[in-house]
């Protein structure tokens, strides 16, 4: 999918790399059944917040990715913020432990590999966690282009 989308020279392509904050506490406190329900609800919220042609997927554990074709970094950040706020509002009202999500955003750079693209979004996610969790961080803000 990435290769196909990246061949469209005029198209922007962005990636969200998301991780549920303190998910281990949910499993440890409320049990794995509730943890599984949180993962399923998170997947449903990702689909609800995305456009019909976006591609949300579980990456592993409590991590998710969303491939956003025809999205520059500003639009991807708006979608990420929508996911973050909607998830926190809806899941935190149904579970006794606050549910938040941290999200890294990266825009595809021509010629880069899938691994590099995902790595850049993951670096932004790491910074979101380091900055206190429950936030969206753009990779470009961490590595501004030279002027």
Q: Is the pLDDT of residue 89 over 90?
A: no
The CATH number assigned to the domain holding 80 equals 3.30.70.270
The residue ranking higher by pLDDT, 88 or 93, is: 88
Query: What does the pLDDT read at residue 58?
Result: 95
Q: Is residue 11 part of a domain?
A: yes
Q: Is residue 96 part of a domain?
A: yes
Question: Which of 62, 81, 112, 115 is an active site residue?
Answer: 62
Q: What is the tens place of the pLDDT at every residue in 26-83? A: 999 999 999 999 999 999 999 999 999 999 999 999 999 999 999 999 999 999 999 9
Q: Is residue 147 part of a domain?
A: no
Q: Is residue 73 part of a domain?
A: yes
Q: Is residue 46 part of a domain?
A: yes
CB atoms within 10 A of CB 129: 15
Percent of residues in the chain assigned helix, strand, coil, to nearest 5: 50, 20, 30
Give yes or no: 62 in active site. yes
Q: Is the pLDDT of residue 7 over 70?
A: no
Query: What does the pLDDT read at residue 2?
Result: 58
CA dist., res. 125 & res. 104, Å (int): 4
Residue with tokens 């196909």: 4
Q: How many domains does the chain have?
A: 1
Query: Given pLDDT bands bounded at 50, 70 and 90, which one contains residue 144?
Result: low
Rounded to 10 degrees, the C-alpha dihedral 138/88/63/109 comes to -20
Enclosing H/E stretch for 3: helix 2-6
Q: Is residue 95 part of a domain?
A: yes
Query: What does the pLDDT read at residue 14?
Result: 95
Query: Given pLDDT bands bounded at 50, 70 and 90, which one contains residue 20?
Result: very high
> What is the residue-averaged pLDDT of the chain?
89
- Write the CA distances from 92 to 15, 49, 86, 87, 99, integer angstroms: 25, 17, 10, 8, 5
Q: Is residue 145 part of a domain?
A: no
CA dist., res. 100 & res. 92, Å (int): 8
- Print the domain residue range for 108: 2-140
Q: Is residue 99 part of a domain?
A: yes
Q: Say what the pTM is.
A: 0.89
Q: Is the pLDDT of residue 10 over 90?
A: no
DSSP letter (8 states) at residue 22: T
The residue ranking higher by pLDDT, 53 or 142, is: 53
Angle among Cα 12, 17, 23 to the nearest 5 degrees reads: 160
Among 9-13, 71-75, 123-127, the range scoring the smallest mean pLDDT is 9-13
Query: What does the pLDDT read at residue 50?
Result: 94
């Amino acid at each position: 999918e990435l290769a196909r989308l990246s061949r469209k020279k005029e198209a922007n392509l962005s990636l969200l790399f998301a991780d549920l904050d303190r998910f281990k506490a949910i499993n440890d406190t409320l049990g794995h059944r509730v943890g599984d329900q949180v993962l399923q609800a998170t997947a449903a919220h990702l689909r609800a917040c995305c456009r019909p042609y976006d591609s949300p997927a579980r990456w592993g554990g409590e991590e998710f990715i969303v491939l956003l074709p025809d999205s520059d970094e500003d639009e991807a950040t708006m979608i990420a913020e929508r996911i973050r706020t909607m998830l926190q509002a809806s899941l935190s009202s149904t579970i006794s432990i606050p549910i938040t999500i941290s999200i890294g955003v990266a825009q595809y750079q021509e010629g880069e590999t899938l691994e590099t693209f995902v790595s850049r979004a993951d670096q932004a996610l790491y910074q979101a966690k380091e900055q206190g969790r429950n936030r969206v961080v753009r990779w470009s803000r961490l590595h501004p282009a030279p002027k």
